[in-house]
Amino acid sequence: MNTIKAIKNAIVCLVLLPRFLVAAVMFWLLDFLCIRKRVFFRMEQEGDAIDPPLCISDSNRLFSLESLRAVWHGHKLDFLKAAHLGHGAPNTEVGVVQRNADIADSVLVYIEEAHPSDGWISTDAPYQIPKHRCLEDRLNAAQLMHLEAPGCLVVVDSMENSSNTAYGAYFDRLYILQEGKVVYQGGRGPEGYRISELRDWLNHYRERLEKSRNLVIHV
Ligand SMILES: *[C@@H]1O[C@H](CO)[C@@H](O)[C@H](O)[C@H]1NC(C)=O
């Protein structure tokens, strides 16, 4: 059993190594402020105004042991996630902490900290939160999310991190689920976190709904 696990681990490492190395080189380059400014300027030009901009202040170092560890963790979660577009949506355990739009319910699942104050620190983070040691730590930190997103149902991931693992959610990620199926899977955040994509999906969905309603009226 352990040998199979070790072989599986080794295969995962081999598959992930190239993209991890690319990310590591990117981070190393982004620590040169002139390169960082250029890259972020270009991203700003290309981005949609509704998406939160990627901002990293000059004092924030990207290339460190903690950051590389976090990137590796994120790649691994993404690779091993159970959630796939068009496939069944994993039903993971969450803890309850609501906003009802007319066509969709939204829920914010707070997972492990991307930038814990005792890990890969971000000087840009609005709050300095250490790694969650127990569910209570996580619930307390989630209260802050509640303040940031009033009216939105906030739940927390279990301490086994089952939602994060199943959905490859780290650092942050958007999903739309319908009748137990993943119908929209956003990219890995922060660079793939696009609220504009979510908005477009919902707009198309609304159009389809309205068309089918009109059909009924005409019949
Ligand atoms: C879940 O995530 C936390 C970080 O918030 C980590 O300390 C813990 O080891 C993880 N739990 C498991 C079972 O991997």
Q: Tell me: cis bond preceding 171? Omega within 30 of 0 counts.
A: yes
Residue count of the chain, please give it: 219
Give distance in angstroms: CA of 65 to centre of ligand 1. 18
Residue type, 157: D
Q: Is residue 105 predicted with pLDDT exceeding 80?
A: yes
**Cβ-proximal residues to 218 (8 Å cutoff; 6+ apart), any chain:** none
CA distances (Å), origin 208, targets 102, 105, 168, 175, 196: 14, 18, 29, 19, 18
**Is 98's pLDDT higher than 50?**
no
Lowest mean pLDDT among 23-37, 89-103, 202-216: 89-103
| Residue 112, ligand 1, Cβ within 6 A | yes
Q: Output the pLDDT for position 101.
A: 65
Query: Backbone phi, then psi, for 14, in 5-degree steps?
Result: -60, -45
The mean pLDDT of 104-113, rounded to a whole number, is: 92
The rounded Å distance from CA 160 to ligand 1 centre is 6
Q: Which atom of ligand 1 is nearest to the CA of 133?
A: 7
Instruction: Indicate whether residue 117 lines ligand 1 (CB < 6 A).
Output: no
Band the pLDDT of 99: cuts 50, 70, 90.
Answer: very low
pTM here is 0.74
Which pLDDT belongs to residue 197?
Answer: 92
What average pLDDT does this structure show over 115-119?
92
Mean of pLDDT over the chain: 88
Percent of the residues in the chain that have a pLDDT greater than 70, as a whole number: 95
The answer to whether the CB of 145 falls within 8 A of the CB of 154 is yes
- For residue 161 and ligand 1, the question of a CB distance below 6 A is answered with yes
| 157 in contact with ligand 1, CB cutoff 6 A | no
Where do the H-state alpha helices sit in the chain? 2-30, 33-46, 65-80, 135-148, 162-167, 195-218
CB of 84 closer than 6 A to ligand 1?
no
In the reported structure, the alpha carbon of residue 111 is separated from the centroid of ligand 1 by a whole-number distance in angstroms of 10
Q: Which domains does the chain have, with CATH numbers?
A: 2-218 (3.40.30.10)
Could you identify the atom of ligand 1 that is nearest to the CA of residue 161?
1
CB-CB contact of 96 with 149 (8 Å)? no
pLDDT score recorded for residue 216: 62
Task: Answer yes or no: is pLDDT of 156 > 70.
Answer: yes
Dist. CA 198–CA 196, nearest whole Å: 5
Of the residues 112, 118, 135, which should be mutated to test ligand 1's pocket, given the most ligand atoms within 8 Å of the CB?
A: 112
Q: Among 16-20, 35-39, 43-47, 151-155, name the one with the lowest average pLDDT.
A: 43-47
The Å distance, Cα 64 to ligand 1 centre, comes to 20
Backbone Cα Rg of the chain? 19
